[in-house]
Amino acid sequence: MKRLVILGAGTGGTMMANHLRDKLPQSNWEINIIDERTEHHYQPGYLFLPFDIYIPEDITKPVADFIPNGVRWVNDAIELIDPKEQLIHLGSGDRLHYDILIVATGCRIAPEEVEGMKGAEWQKSVFDFYTFEGALALRNHLRNWKGGRLLVHITEMPIKCPVAPLEFAFLADHYFKEKGMRDQVEIVYVTPLSGAFTKPTAAATLGHLLESKDIKIESDFAIAEVDNERKVIVDYGGRELSFDLLVTVPTNKGSDVIEKSGLGDDLNYIPTNKATLQSKAYSNIFVIGDASDVPTSKAGSVAHFEADILTENIIRFINSEPLQEEFDGHANCFVETGGGKALLIDFNYTHEPVEGTFPFPGVGPLRLLKENRMNHMGKMAFRWIYWNMLLKGTPIPFVSTKMQEAGKNFVQA
Amino acid sequence: MEKIIAGKQIDVTEEGFMTDFGQWDKTVGEALAQESSIQLTPRHWEVIAYLQDQFKQEVPLSIRKIGKSGVLDIKEFYALFPNAPLKTATKIAGIPKPVSCI
């Protein structure tokens, strides 16, 4: 009997458990999935919590509901990975041997990386919305907030879902309009990049969105410090921005256990072959989702497309066949723009998001990089798809693992 | 778009970032630096070589990461390439500026 161990029962790990239990014979392969959490969160829902669009119950379900029969769920902390001995050390003191390991430990916010960020004003006037607790605390704060200067801020790239802060700014604009207090709120989008939109087509087609919603932009801002007393953020060049409310996306890092186990880079991401998803250091370790260092967006949709290719590659690895170099960095995301509208973007390692039709070339029904109500309905429907199809490994009709080039308006080089 | 610099034809974005690193050489780097009003010193070249090396390894660049690299600290990075150091330095190095997904 051989053993495959999956670390982490989030989006990537749960999908892999479901895919592999179908593919690996139970007589030969035991599958274990380890996670200390008992609740599974629909993380895209964190964006909607602060604005009272979702309630906590919409975005949390028991982990156990999504672990298939025939997979052993180990509800324990992961203390250490010993890749030489092929052992996982657990919080209970137990050790678990593996033949194949899939790391799906994700990433987390690390506000402690910036001086003063987790200071006296943390969850008083400085908030994150990339955690359940942060989004909820921000919701409670916003319900009574009297207005002032709101900074929506990104610390540094890469972050999980790079468009979420932009969506936050758009939803905030709408939220304050609905409350009849938009004239008392100044919204400023602060980014370390050269602009809110950094890809040429998106910049050209979407640049007007910020202006039309009266959202100001401060670009090339590399934060050095949060000054809690003066309520300003300071960048390395000495530039200062004052705030009444700072909503920040802190530095994102891989799990601490990756660092402790000596498997990560300086942000605790595991060096991973971007086409096969095999770890570069150990051939029997594979990585899915945010835990890897592959150069694409950190997002659930990436993990979803990775899962199909990783499943194939695990089977090939077991059969001693060469791995398929197939993952193209595909991501597909709905982007909320406020007021009941959204955009849809579809892109990969080599192709930027462009205009076009999706999923059927020339037909749609969804339009890429266009703001409309249908895309918003798609975003809202996606929560159901996530709980009922995506986690269980059910293929989503007409959405291919690799990005399609047909139906997209690429500029011919 | 195309642009002639230091007697060479290069492909650049509208903001002037090179799109084909294969077209970069030191004379192109010199000329790009002049456009940004920067006089390159040996120290600048060390930083440029480091950035290009990170680019080849597909490591995403950030100012804080550069500060932790041991190559130089952030204060020096701002002194060498004032205002928006990462944007200016990547442009001179012939590599893409850091981007998001849209």
By C-alpha distance, the chain A residue nearest B57 is: A295
Residues from chain A that touch B99, judged by Cβ atoms under 8 A, are: 193, 198-199
Cα distance from A257 to chain B (closest Cα, Å)? 21
Inter-chain touch A222–B68, beta carbons under 8 Å = no
- DSSP string for B40-73: --HHHHHHHHHHHHHHHTTPPP-HHHHHTSSS--
Query: Best of B68, B90, B101 to disrupt the A interface by mutation (most A CBs within 10 Å)?
Result: B101
CB atoms within 10 A of CB A266: 11
Inter-chain touch B97–A156, beta carbons under 8 Å = no
CB B40 within 8 Å of CB B20: no
Q: How far is CA A339 from CA A52, A171, A377, in A?
A: 14, 8, 12
Cα distance from B12 to chain A (closest Cα, Å)? 12
CB atoms within 10 A of CB A69: 6
Residues from chain A that touch B86, judged by Cβ atoms under 8 A, are: 192, 220, 222
Cβ-nearest to A347 among B15, B82, B101 = B101
Q: Measure the CA–CA gap between A224 and A245, rounded to whole angstroms.
A: 18
Which of B1, B4, B99, B101 is an active site residue?
B101
In the structure encoding, which two tokens stand for residue B100, read together?
């998001």
Strands (E), A146-222: 148-154, 185-190, 215-218
Inter-chain touch A236–B74, beta carbons under 8 Å = yes
**What SS3 class is residue A159?**
coil
Q: Is A205 on the interface with B (CB under 8 A)?
A: no
By C-alpha distance, the chain B residue nearest A298 is: B101
Cβ-nearest to B78 among A192, A200, A237 = A237
**What SS3 class is residue B12?**
strand
Q: Which residues of chain A have pLDDT under 50?
A: 412-413
Element (H, E) at A374: helix A373-385
Q: Chain A window 90-119: which residues touch B at a Cβ cutoff of 8 Å?
A: 113
B50 noted as active-site residue:
no
Residues from chain B that touch A236, judged by Cβ atoms under 8 A, are: 63, 67, 74-75, 77-78
**What are the structural domains of chain A?**
2-106+255-318 (3.50.50.60), 116-252 (3.50.50.60), 331-390 (no CATH)
pLDDT of A108: 97
In the structure encoding, which two tokens stand for residue B11, read together?
């492909």
Pairing mode of beta strands A245-249, A148-154: parallel
Residues from chain A that touch B84, judged by Cβ atoms under 8 A, are: 194, 219-220
Residue A155: phi, psi to the nearest 5?
A: -75, -60
Inter-chain touch A353–B101, beta carbons under 8 Å = yes
Q: Is A370 on the interface with B (CB under 8 A)?
A: no
Q: Is B8 on the interface with A (CB under 8 A)?
A: no
Provide ipTM, 2 decimals.
0.86
By C-alpha distance, the chain A residue nearest B68 is: A266
Which residue's structure tokens are 């092929």?
A: A86
A7, β-bridge pairs:
A34, A103
Inter-chain touch B99–A193, beta carbons under 8 Å = yes
Q: Measure the CA–CA gap between B5 and A218, rounded to whole angstroms.
A: 31
Q: Is A194 on the interface with B (CB under 8 A)?
A: yes
**What SS3 class is residue A43?**
helix
Inter-chain touch B60–A162, beta carbons under 8 Å = no
Q: How far is CA A31 from CA A18, A34, A308, B59, B91, in A?
A: 10, 10, 17, 33, 49
Inter-chain touch B64–A347, beta carbons under 8 Å = no
Q: Measure the CA–CA gap between A292 and A134, rounded to whole angstroms.
A: 24
Give the number of A-B residue pairs with CB atoms closer than 8 Å. 86
In the structure encoding, which two tokens stand for residue A5, read together?
């161990």
Cα A172 to its chain centre, rounded Å, is 20
Q: Measure the CA–CA gap between B60 and A293, rounded to whole angstroms.
A: 9
pLDDT of A413: 42
Residues from chain B that touch A220, judged by Cβ atoms under 8 A, are: 83-84, 86-87
- CA-atom Rg of chain A in angstroms: 21
pLDDT of B60: 84
Q: Mean pLDDT of residues grouped by 10 in chain B (102 residues)?
A: 89 91 95 95 96 91 87 92 92 92 84
CB A222 within 8 Å of CB A192: yes
CB A312 within 8 Å of CB A326: yes
CB B39 within 8 Å of CB B48: no
Inter-chain touch A198–B75, beta carbons under 8 Å = no
